[in-house]
A = this chain, B = another copy of it.
Amino acid sequence: MESYKEVGRSVKRVDAYDKVTGRAMFTDDLCPKPCLVAKILHSTIGNGRVVSIDTDEAKKVPGVVGVFTCFDVPDFAYPVAGHPWYADSAAAKRDIADRRLLDDRVRIYGDNIAAVVAEDNVAAERALRLIHVEYEEYPVVYDARESMKGTEVPVQEGKPDNVVAHTLAVTPKEKLGEMGYESVEDALLDPKYHHFAIKTFTGEQSQAHIEVCVSYCYEEGGKIVCVSSTQIPHICRRIIGQALGIPWGSVRVIKPYIGGGFGTKQDIHFEPLNAWLCHQVGGRCVKLELSREECFWDTSGRQPKNFEVEASVGDDMRLHARSIKGWSNTGGYIHHGHALVLNSVNSFRWLYHTCEDAVRCEAWTIHTNGPHTGAMRAYGVPEGVWTAECLMGDIAHDMGWDGVEFRLKNAIAPGYVDEFSPSNTISYRTDGLRACVERGKEIIDWDNKRREYANQAGPIRHGVGVAFMVYKTAVAPFALETSNAQITLNQDGTFQLQMGATEIGQGADTVFCQMAAEAIGVDTEDIHIVSFQDTDVAPYDPGAYASRQTFVSGTACKDAGTKMRKRILELAERLYPDAQGELDLRNHAIYDGGDNRLCGLADLALEAYYNIHKTDQLSTRGQATVHQNAIATGCTFCDLTVDIPLGQVTIDKIVSIQDDGRLINPKLVEQQIHGGMAQGIGFGLSEELLVDPKSGRVRNATLLDYKIPTMMDVPDLIAENVETQDPMGPYGNKAVGETPIISPAPAIRDAILNATGVKFYEMPMTPQRLFEGFKREGLI
């Protein structure tokens, strides 16, 4: 493995001091006070059309500056997903434009139909209550497969069967022929193999970030300026431009520190409306802050999904054929659309794809009148891995095999190349998975516990479980991966690092400083990062999603650093033309080939800035277009206690071991894994937005009713890494931000199965679902 000096150090977070002292400024801290506030009027029906809106009374409320309805807004449809744009308009890679600032077509309960701008929240709320709306109402459909049969009025125009997209990928005919089959179905039903078929469901998890969605807009310098708690400031700029029908260069977006996003803030939900309302009131500063309740149902959670899976497996423990069908309920709007369920079925396939097996993957994304859905941490992968692990767990259980042994027989192995990928850039190059599993087994004491828990009876039972994980870093080759970075030498020999990539709490700023320092050859402490992104001055980068930043943006960062080192040494050569041998930068100084110190870096910086004969403020621009990706893997083991009559699970021990390639900052990686494990436990056991199927209304849009794990629910979390050197990562690194949420839930499911013999297929495994399952299987 490569040897690094700054990469691999657990340096303190660069934002640690500001964040623990409360000094760090978030969007609402920065918002001028007083300023105007905007509030949104939401529909009280789940499907239909606004016939008329009467705002007369609302406009009379003292303090109200303006009331605007769906009949006032410009007719620009725009996409909201935080995806890069495409130069080629015909490429069909551009996101679907199905949102309007306000819409008279109500597609979901609580749809946005009017907005009030007022001098304070009280006036705005009073005015909202005085707006009278007349609707034409249509029946609500919430079940995706019901919706596919078609509705009288399609949810979105032009899609009579409400299907956004349908894809099918199958092992090529030739290979099937070699296997002796006409189709994957034949391989599945070959009587020489054991056949399994299951159905799974994964619910709508909400990101439940600490900081609500908030932005404020004002006009200045001929631009609309939007300060927003967003993961994707440059994309936000583009989407505001599209939504308002104005040139993108006329929009300026500023991203301060943000208090969590987990994918919600990878959509541009309200910034365009905020910008438009600001313009309607003459460019005065207008703040639009969602309530906690609105965050739950008017932004986008994880798509609920159904899967049907079949598999055939040989006595040699090898998977012979698999088929997955996935149906994703995208709700009334497209947001990230089909990419999510594609990620589910692909990760199902990759994790246990030996390339000797036959595979069939089919997926649908369907409109219903369900709430918004979109990106959430790991972006469809947890749903696919949940499904894969339900299958693997069932097979191991039914065949009496050791679950670890069975999984290892089939798990993705080095040299794997995705045979379905058009460019074959999805390949598994470095394998830490097997070492991860060894270490996990050891920590959880797998073999002994399996024996210990072998024959249990009674209401309280124990079980150990396992789940593997696979995650493809960044979005190439499916989508564009691009990033830019800029480094400038300061007069004191320190550096300014400007990234377009965003710190969203994950520690990005810190690891970028480490990577820049490594490339230049200085200490991390010598790098000052510009933490805010201001699209007027920040290099272009689409932002934080897909665990792409250390991988893609890190490549741009390294490029800028490498160029800076080169520029410094070139300047040193100019200043010391008679120096012997090759010059080197180390210990904050320039050395000649004979190890003589020529000058300090700070002295060189002063020459760069202030030499009377020739100045040269050193500033370098790093750039990356990344076409490769790197597959991160790992596993979770857990040991738990099930109280069968109460339907209660207590996790006694849980450990996640990951191969995320080289770790830029081991402590930060550990913290990421801790957070992901906790969120994964919530995903597995308690977190689900509950939707009334008759109205489409979310029933539990509060932090009281939506159950995120508390300190009481999360045991000590054990997180470790097996380091590998990925050849594609800028410093051998792979994804880490999203990976840890993937395997905890299925590991818990596997432990419950091993403890009780009961198979659960629906997530989250709430006490209600567990109770019903145990009752169904006669344990209660």
Given A247-B494, A530-B537, check contact A222 B612 (CB 8 Å): no
In the complex, which residues of chain B have a beta carbon less than 8 angstroms from the beta carbon of A619? 484, 486, 539, 621
Query: Complex: how many Å from CA A615 to CA B540?
Result: 10
In the complex, which residues of chain B have a beta carbon less than 8 angstroms from the beta carbon of A581? none
Contact B491 A615 (CB under 8 A): no
Is there a chain B Cβ closer than 8 Å to A95's Cβ? no
Please give the distance in Å from A291's CB to the nearest CB on chain B. Answer: 25
Is there a chain B Cβ closer than 8 Å to A220's Cβ? yes
Contact B540 A87 (CB under 8 A): no
In the complex, which residues of chain B have a beta carbon less than 8 angstroms from the beta carbon of A539? 617, 619
Query: Complex: how many Å from CA A283 to CA B540?
Result: 32
In the complex, which residues of chain B have a beta carbon less than 8 angstroms from the beta carbon of A711? none
Given A25-B220, A528-B222, A612-B86, check contact A247 B617 (CB 8 Å): no
Contact B492 A247 (CB under 8 A): yes
Query: Complex: how many Å from CA A498 to CA B493?
Result: 23
Is there a chain B Cβ closer than 8 Å to A398's Cβ? no
Contact B610 A241 (CB under 8 A): no
Contact of A536 among B528, B610, B612, B614 (CB under 8 A): B528
Is there a chain B Cβ closer than 8 Å to A396's Cβ? no
Please report which residues of chain A, range 9-30, place their CB below 8 angstroms from some CB of chain B when the two chains form the complex: 14-15, 17-18, 23-25
Query: Complex: how many Å from CA A492 to CA B613?
Result: 39
Is there a chain B Cβ closer than 8 Å to A482's Cβ? yes
Residue among A93, A249, A528, A607 with the most chain B CB within 10 A?
A249
Q: Considering only CB atoms, which chain B residue lies closest to A609 in the complex? A: B540
Query: Complex: how many Å from CA A530 to CA B535?
Result: 11
Query: Complex: how many Å from CA A596 to CA B247?
Result: 25
Contact A480 B528 (CB under 8 A): no
Interface size class of A (residues with CB under 8 A): 35 or more
Query: Complex: how many Å from CA A660 to CA B606?
Result: 33
In the complex, which residues of chain B have a beta carbon less than 8 angstroms from the beta carbon of A250? 492, 494, 528
State the copy count for this chain. Answer: 2
Contact of A222 among B17, B220, B486, B616 (CB under 8 A): B17
In the complex, which residues of chain B have a beta carbon less than 8 angstroms from the beta carbon of A486? 619
Query: Complex: how many Å from CA A619 to CA B222?
Result: 22
Is there a chain B Cβ closer than 8 Å to A611's Cβ? yes
Is there a chain B Cβ closer than 8 Å to A88's Cβ? yes
Contact of A616 among B18, B33, B623 (CB under 8 A): B623
Q: Considering only CB atoms, which chain B residue lies closest to A484 in the complex? A: B617
Is there a chain B Cβ closer than 8 Å to A223's Cβ? yes
Query: Complex: how many Å from CA A456 to CA B338?
Result: 95
Q: Considering only CB atoms, which chain B residue lies closest to A616 in the complex? A: B623
Query: Complex: how many Å from CA A615 to CA B625?
Result: 6
Query: Complex: how many Å from CA A621 to CA B85?
Result: 26
Contact A606 B222 (CB under 8 A): no
Is there a chain B Cβ closer than 8 Å to A91's Cβ? yes
Query: Complex: how many Å from CA A758 to CA B700?
Result: 92
Please report which residues of chain A, range 243-263, place their CB below 8 angstroms from some CB of chain B when the two chains form the complex: 247-250
Please give the distance in Å from A282's CB to the nearest CB on chain B. Answer: 9
Q: Considering only CB atoms, which chain B residue lies closest to A284 in the complex? A: B23
Contact A528 B223 (CB under 8 A): yes
Is there a chain B Cβ closer than 8 Å to A496's Cβ? yes
Query: Complex: how many Å from CA A248 to CA B482?
Result: 33
Query: Binary interface profile of A, 466-485, with partner B (CB < 8 Å = 1, else 0)?
Result: 00000000000000101010
Contact B537 A221 (CB under 8 A): no
Contact of A87 among B84, B223, B537, B607 (CB under 8 A): B607
In the complex, which residues of chain B have a beta carbon less than 8 angstroms from the beta carbon of A143? none
Contact A494 B249 (CB under 8 A): yes
Contact B222 A87 (CB under 8 A): no
Is there a chain B Cβ closer than 8 Å to A229's Cβ? no
Query: Binary interface profile of A, 483-505, with partner B (CB < 8 Å = 1, else 0)?
Result: 01010001111111010000000
In the complex, which residues of chain B have a beta carbon less than 8 angstroms from the beta carbon of A623? 615-617
Query: Complex: how many Å from CA A530 to CA B238?
Result: 18
In the complex, which residues of chain B have a beta carbon less than 8 angstroms from the beta carbon of A480? 610-612, 615
Q: 7 A-B contacts, Cβ less than 8 Å apart?
A: A87-B610, A87-B612, A249-B495, A480-B610, A480-B612, A530-B537, A539-B619
